[in-house]
C-alpha cells in the first residue's frame, strides 16, 4: 500500500515583512553588543595595565601577583572567543611586459 503525503505552504506577506523587520533589528542589536564588548575590552585591558604599572616598584604578595595574572588570562580568554580579523594584503597585479616587434 502506497501513501502520499502533501504539504501545503501558505505565504503571508505581513509575516514576511515582520521577519525582515526582525532581521533588521537583529543586525542593529548585534552591532550594538559588538561595540559594547570592544569598549569593555579596552577598559579592562587599560585598567590591568594601569594596575601592573602602579605595582612595578612595589613588592606584592605572591597571591596578588597570581591574581593579576589570572585576570590577564581571563581577559585573554574573553578576547579569544571571537578570533581577530586578519586582513590579508591584496597582491599587486602582475603586468606582463609588452614586447614590440622590431621593424627593419
Question: Alpha-carbon dihedral of residues 34, 46, 76, 32, nearest 10 degrees?
Answer: -10
Do residues 46 and 75 make contact, with C-beta atoms less than 8 angstroms apart?
Answer: no
Question: Would you state the cell numbers that stand for residue 2, as one nine-digit string?
Answer: 502506497
Tally of CB atoms within 10 A around 65: 13
Q: How far is CA 90 from the centre of its chain?
A: 21
**Residue 44 CA: distances (Å) to CA of 37, 40, 41, 97:** 10, 6, 5, 54
Cα–Cα dist 52/79, whole Å: 19
One digit per residue, the tens of pLDDT, for the chain of length 104 reads 666 666 666 677 777 777 776 777 888 888 888 888 888 888 888 888 888 888 888 888 899 889 888 988 888 888 888 777 777 888 888 878 777 777 76
What local confidence, expressed as pLDDT, does residue 93 receive?
A: 80
- DSSP conformation class of 82: S
pLDDT value for 86: 78
Provide the pLDDT for residue 40. 85
* pLDDT value, residue 21: 67
The set of residues, in sequence order, having a beta carbon less than 8 Å from that of 41 and lying 6+ positions away, is 75, 78, 79
Amino acid at each position: 500500500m502506497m501513501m502520499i503525503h502533501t504539504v501545503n505552504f501558505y505565504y503571508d506577506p505581513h509575516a514576511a515583512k515582520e521577519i525582515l523587520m526582525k532581521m533588521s533589528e537583529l543586525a542593529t542589536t548585534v552591532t550594538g553588543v559588538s561595540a559594547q564588548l570592544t569598549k569593555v575590552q579596552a577598559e579592562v585591558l587599560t585598567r590591568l595595565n594601569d594596575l601592573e604599572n602602579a605595582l612595578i616598584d612595589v613588592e606584592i604578595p605572591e597571591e596578588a601577583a597570581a591574581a593579576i595574572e589570572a585576570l590577564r588570562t581571563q581577559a585573554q580568554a574573553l578576547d579569544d572567543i571571537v578570533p581577530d580579523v586578519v586582513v590579508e594584503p591584496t597582491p599587486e597585479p602582475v603586468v606582463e611586459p609588452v614586447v614590440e616587434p622590431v621593424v627593419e
